[in-house]
Amino acid sequence: GHAVLSVAAGEAHLLNISVDSVYQRRGLGRSLLRFMLARAEQRDAKVVFLEVRVSNRAAFQLYQSEGFNEIGTRKGYYPAQKAREDAMVLAIEL
């Protein structure tokens, strides 16, 4: 898996987090997420934001179980097959 985190001015943005489908459902995504949250905290972030596709229920449930809350929606944020897909904006205070 991999993850990309940006930290500036006390805020972090988890830009991407991904685990190959062969290795999903083994706790690797949760471990990677926790590692990135710890890294954000080490870099003095007070809050972490991320976007997730509204159709990605598994990821949303993971983020929610780790303490993220939905704070908004970005309309048409992601490209999709026939149109664009909305993103839920999530945040967690560290």
What's the average model confidence in pLDDT over 19-29? 92
Q: What single DSSP character describes residue 4?
A: E
What are 53-89's pLDDT values in tens digits? 999 999 999 999 999 999 999 999 999 888 999 999 9
The CATH number assigned to the domain with range 2-93 reads 3.40.630.30
So which residues are the catalytic ones? 51, 63
Question: 70 and 48 in contact (C-beta within 8 Å)?
Answer: no
Q: pLDDT value at position 16? A: 97
Q: Is the Cβ–Cβ distance between 69 and 30 less than 8 Å?
A: no
Sketch the domain layout of the chain as residue ranges.
Answer: 2-93
Is residue 37 within 8 Å of 94, Cβ to Cβ? yes
Q: Is the dihedral of CA 46, 1, 90, 64 positive or negative?
A: negative
Which contiguous run of DSSP H or E holds residue 58? helix 57-65
Within 10 Å of residue 17's Cβ, how many Cβ atoms? 19
